Amino acid sequence: ETGVTQSPTHLIKTRGQQVTLRCSSQSGHNTVSWYQQALGQGPQFIFQYYREEENGRGNFPPRFSGLQFPNYSSELNVNALELDDSALYLCASYGVDTGELFFGEGSRLTVL
């Protein structure tokens, strides 16, 4: 049990649509990050948020955006969905005291 919860667990969208995924971090963890995991691959870093500001981004286009709220919950938004966006999206909570990163169970997105 990592204390990181994500919703929804599964969803199906069509190409061109927009999607919002949600995450609730561990209590006291003020840094949250999002990862994309394609089938059969390792997770890839999308971006991280600290104190409601994005402060690090991986190699993902601007149509991937996020928000972090004062209660440390966060959202990942993806616009203009493409077929290649089909993946497991993972939210991770960072404990600055330990340096450890804890993942939620993920939201599986299928784009048709």
Partner 1 sequence: GENVEQHPSTLSVQEGDSAVIKCTYSDSASNYFPWYKQELGKGPQLIIDIRSNVGEKKDQRIAVTLNKTAKHFSLHITETQPEDSAVYFCAARLEGTASKLTFGTGTRLQVTL
The least distance separating partner 1 from the CB of residue 78, rounded to whole angstroms, comes to: 19
Report how far residue 31's alpha carbon sits from residue 88's, in angstroms, rounded to the nearest whole number. Answer: 20
- Strand pairing partners for 91? 34
Conformation bin of residue 79: beta by default, left when phi > 0, alpha when psi is -120 to 50 = beta
Mark 14-43 with x for binding to partner 1 (rule: CB under 8 A) and - for no binding.
-----------------xxx------xxxx
Quick check: 66 binds partner 1 (CB under 8 A)? no
Quick check: 56 binds partner 1 (CB under 8 A)? yes
CB 43 within 8 A of CB 73: no
CB 109 within 8 A of CB 89: yes
Quick check: 104 binds partner 1 (CB under 8 A)? yes
Pick the binder of partner 1 from 45, 60, 65, 75 (CB under 8 A): 45
Name the site residues for partner 1 (rule: CB under 8 A). Answer: 2, 4, 31-33, 40-45, 48, 50, 55-56, 58, 90, 92, 94, 96, 99-106
